[in-house]
Amino acid sequence: MALPEQLLLSDLLKRRVRDPDGLERGSGLAVWMHPPVHRVLGWASRPSLFGNRRLVWRLNQLAGLLELEALVKGEPADTDQATLERLPTLIDAALLDRDQRPIGTVVDAAIELRTGAIRHYLVSRSDPRLPGSSRWRLSPERIVDQQPGLVSTALTGLDDLPLARASVRQDLLRRSRRWREQMQVAGEQLESRVEGWLEEPPWEGGEPLRRIWTPEDDGLEPDVGGDDGIGDVGPADLASEEGAGADSGYGPQGSDPRGSEPWDEDDWDWEPPRREQEWSEDQDPDADRDPWV
């Protein structure tokens, strides 16, 4: 059975080990690695739930992978739990930034099965046992120093690392950011199109529409005035206005027509209409028939 070129350490440890005789040798328990060169040498399994016995398998003993089982060849090495705990490892180590503050935990590694070299580590910000949590990819070249349980880097945060697997929250944040950028680009394109339509003439080959009327539209010379657009009025202009008032026929000597109105005249003869009253034979003929007196 052909082995994949690359395998996650967690995928190897979750499988149960089965030897060539068909005997089950327990599930994966811990990794056997050499941290200074970032290389995995093998892994250990626990053959029984009871007892302190542990079995250590070399990585080159892996013969095949099934959905839930790891097929091995050869015999394992016997050891105990206390010896396994003394083996150096970077798994479950705290990841420190450049200010020596913890920013995550190293929870997994991608292994090249042919040589055992670790291509990159996977870092989790929260508890790695939580389903759907995010994973960031940490390459061995970005590790500055390592101690038992500590991995030092020059990072300012996890955002400096590429995202290997996004959680539901991270996925929503990334999608909402992308949608917001797309809406902003679409709004800018729409605004530029509307501005182009307003600047173009509504007919082909015509001039753009004028927003305000100017004296040049009727062939008149513009009135040059002050800053407020009103021309300066001189004595000649006032004299011409008085002459025009004299010819207008309003009052004596061209008086202001607004000083008097037609209904203000004293000799305006007008009487209200009178209605003739109907007389009957029983009324006095000498009585005054004018009802208004």
Cβ atoms within 10 Å of 103's Cβ, excluding its own = 21
Buried b (16+ CB within 10 A) or exposed e, 173-212: eeeeeeeeeeeeeeeeeeeeeeeeeeeeeeeeeeeeeeee
In three-state secondary structure terms, 238 is helix
Please give the angle made by the CA atoms of 38, 41 and 45, to the nearest 5 degrees.
Answer: 125
φ, ψ at 62 (rounded to 5°): -70, 120
Helix or strand holding residue 130 (H, E): none
Buried b (16+ CB within 10 A) or exposed e, 123-147: bbbeebeeeebbbbbbebeebeebe
Question: What is the bridge-based pairing of β-strands 62-65 and 53-58?
Answer: unpaired
CATH architecture of the domain with residue range 6-85:
Roll (2.30)
Residues of the chain with pLDDT under 70: 1, 131-132, 166-175, 196-293
Q: What's the DSSP call for residue 277?
A: P
Instruction: In whole angstroms, give the CA distance from residue 31 to residue 268.
Output: 123
CB 30 within 8 A of CB 87: yes
pTM of the model: 0.57
Instruction: In whole angstroms, give the CA distance from residue 291 to residue 163.
Output: 109
The 10s digit of each residue's pLDDT in 125-171 is 887 777 667 889 999 999 999 988 999 999 998 889 988 876 555 55
Instruction: In whole angstroms, give the CA distance from residue 111 to residue 11.
Output: 10
β-sheet bridge partners, residue 171: none
β-sheet bridge partners, residue 13: none
CB 97 within 8 A of CB 157: yes
Check residue 249 and give its pLDDT: 47
β-sheet bridge partners, residue 33: 40
H-state helical runs in 70-128: 81-85
| CA proximity to 41, closest of 62, 27, 25 | 62
β-sheet bridge partners, residue 56: 44, 77
What are the boundaries of each domain within the chain? 6-85, 94-168
Q: Superfamily for 94-168?
A: PRC-barrel domain (2.30.30.240)
β-sheet bridge partners, residue 111: 7, 118
β-sheet bridge partners, residue 109: 121
Instruction: In whole angstroms, give the CA distance from residue 222 to residue 218.
Output: 10
φ, ψ at 137 (rounded to 5°): -95, 120
